[in-house]
Structure 1
C-alpha cells in the first residue's frame, strides 16, 4: 500500500525537507508550508494505495493540528480538513482561521467513534506524555476500513531534542538547561513537560499489540525508499530513522 508514496520518497525530496527544517523557529510559514504539502502527498498516496481513490470527499482529522497550516493544502486535495488542538495559543499562533477547528485533547478526542476516513498526526506524539493513549483514540474515531497515520520524531534521532539538540544526546534535562543558559529563555519544547523520550521500539510495540486495526506499514518518513530497511534493525533505527510513520487500517 506504500507503492505510490515509495515513488515519491527520493533523495531529492529528503534533502529538500532537511533544508526546510532549519526554518522551523525563524520562518514557520516557510517550514510548515513545505511540511503541509509533503503531508498531503503522504496521506494522499497512502490513501490511494489503500483504496485506489484520491482524497476527494474524505474527512481528514489532524490530531495536534496547531494553527491550521495544513488546512489549505488538504482543501486543495478535495478533503474536509478538521484540526484538533488542545492549546488555544497554538490555535491562533499564525493568525489563521480554520472553520472546522476543534479545541480538544488527543488523549480524549471530542469526536464520536468511527467518524473520519483518515486520522493523521504529524510530529505530535513526542510532545504527549501518553502517546499510545492518543494512538488508541485516533483509531477509535477512524471509520472501519479507514486509515490511522501516526508520524512522530524519535528521541535518539538527530532532531529528537528539537531546538535543544544535539545536546539531548547527553540528557533531556541537561539540553534544556544548556539552551536556557545560552539563550536566556526556556525552550519551547521542554523535556519532561512538552517533549518526551519516545522511540521506534515503542511505536512498533504498540502497533504489534493493539487490537483495533491491521498494521499496513512502518517506515521512515523523511528517508528515500532505499533506506527504509533501517526500521527493521534494532538500535540502528533509533539513531537513524529520525521520524517513524505507522499506518494502521481500522477493522
Structure 2
C-alpha cells in the first residue's frame, strides 16, 4: 500500500482536475497518433505535448492554486524540444535536458536554454525548478529510478514532479519492435533487423529497457517522508479505467503508460499525504 493511502490530507480532493480531460475520446486520439511516432514525429509529439501541458497545468493548479505563468519547467529527456511551444503558451520557461546531441537537433528545432546532460545526473542544483517532467523517457534509461530521484532533487519544495513512462509488457512496450517483445526484447530486435534490414531505433538492452508498472509503484512507496505522492494512474486511459493500476499482473498488460505525480513538501507543511488514485 502506498504511504499516501495511510494518512489523509486536508488538501485531498475526490479527483484531480485533470480527470475531467481523461475521456475516451482523448484516449482514442492519443493512441491513434502512435502510428506516426517515427514516420511523422511532429504529429505524434505535437499531440502528446499539448496533452502533457494540460496535465502539468491541471496538477500544478491543484497543488498550488496558481497557473504556470512564470514557472521554470524542466523536461528531462526533452529531445529536440517538441514541448516548448505548448509550455510557452502557458507563459512558463521551458528547459529541455537531453544527453544525445543527435536527438537535440533531430527536428531542426532550437530551444533557448536547452541543456545537454544525463537524466541520471542532472546538471542543476537542488531545488532549482518549479516543475520537473519526463515523458516516455524512463524506458530508454538503464537506471530510471535514479533519474526519478534526480528529478525530485532539482524540484523546489512545493513544486511538481511528473514522471511518465511506457510499461514494457503493455502493447507499446516494444516500440517499433512490438508486439514481438512479448517473446523477449532481444528476439524482437533480431526479428526487426531481419525484416527491415536495419537495427531498430530503440535497441533492447541499449536504448530500450523493460520497466514494469510495479516498478513505478514501488518507487512511489519508498519515496522519502518529505515527498508526497499525489497520483498514480494510466496516462492514456479514460478516468473510469484508472483502477487498473490497482490490479497486479493485469496492470502490466493493460496500463500502457504509467504516470507518477509527486511533490516535495515545503518546510512549513504538515506531515500529510495525498493520493488521488489509490494503487495498492
TM-score, normalised to structure 1, is 0.98
Which of 195, 206, 222 is equivalent to 2:208?
195
CA distance in 2, matches of 1:134, 1:12: 32
2:235: which partner in 1? Answer: 221
**Residue pairs, 1:1-251, within 5 angstroms:** 2-211=15-224, 212-251=226-265
Displacement of 1:105 = 0.3
Match of 1:22, SS state, is: helix
Q: Separation in 2 of the partners of 1:11 and 1:245?
A: 18
Q: Which is higher, the Rg of structure 1 or of structure 2?
A: 2
For 2:205 and 2:168, locate their aligned partners in 1 and report how far apart those are by CA, in whole Å.
12
Greater relative contact order structure (CA < 8 Å, 6+ sep): 2
Cα distance in 2 for partners of 1:18, 1:132 equals 26
> Structure 1, residues 91-131: CA drift from partner, whole Å, max 9, x if none?
00000000110000001000111011110000000000000
Unaligned stretches of 5+ residues in structure 2: 1-12, 266-280
Unaligned 5+ segments in structure 1 are none
Q: What SS does the aligned partner of 1:21 have?
A: helix
- Give per-residue Cα distances to partners, 1:50-85, cap 9 Å, x unaligned: 112111111100000000010011000111100000
Number of residue pairs the alignment of both structures matches: 251
Secondary structure of residue in 2 paired with 1:139? helix
Measured against aligned partners, the alpha-carbon deviations of 1:200-226 in whole angstroms (never above 9, x if no partner) come to 111110110121511111000000000
What secondary structure sits across from 2:121 in the alignment? coil
Shift of 1:3: 2.2
